[in-house]
Amino acid sequence: MPERPKALVVYLMCGPEAPALAEAAVEAGADIVELGFPFSDPLADGPVIRRAAERALAQGMRTGACLECLAATRERVDCPLVPMTYSSLLEAYGWERFAADAETAGATSLIVADLPAGDRPGLRRVQLVAPSSTDERLRLAAAETHGWLYLVTVTCTTGARSDLSPALAGLVERAREVTDLPLYAGFGISTPEHARAAAELVDGIVVGSRAVEVSEEGPAAVSRYVATLRSALDA
């Protein structure tokens, strides 16, 4: 049986330009688009995504507008769309209401960065685990995750780095022991070299901060960047 192609997840911040950026990313080889819902006090996001969130908030991208952005993106792409948000936004909007409205707008699942595994078990979401996760937490996250398990390669905020985290291999080994679901690695993955190295260990990668930086240059730049990652994963 041929090996399944490695998945490429591209993170983009919600905003007026996001649907066109997502379309460019998918046409260039992205398999999943993660749409960031800006939050004024993010815990997991580094400076690049924080600045993007501040710009989005200045553009009026509150939860309702982000859901509209999600729906507009869904009109242009048919890949899985995964909103990335924080529990405070869902608490304010209403957990069940948000889940229903996001699904209506085209979301495949959700990522709630600061919601621990085990909380809100009825919420269809991708779970995150890190090198610091206990074995018990890892098993719980793997049992509850939707579609794939998100491996955070480092226990710090997002951002491009020079080398792939050496902690990833150990985390992959532990995760493989508790789930057969695809494992996608993110945080600190930004270059084709990172993509190639990660593909030796996991089933897919998530690219965030660098994708957000490139997106500031428009859809054509996103297309070129994503194509380099796709080529690296397929090599």
**Cβ neighbourhood burial of 146 (10 Å; 0-12, 13-18, 19+):** middle
Report which of 39, 37, 31, 40 is spatially closest to residue 18, judged by C-alpha positions: 37
Catalytic residues: 34, 45
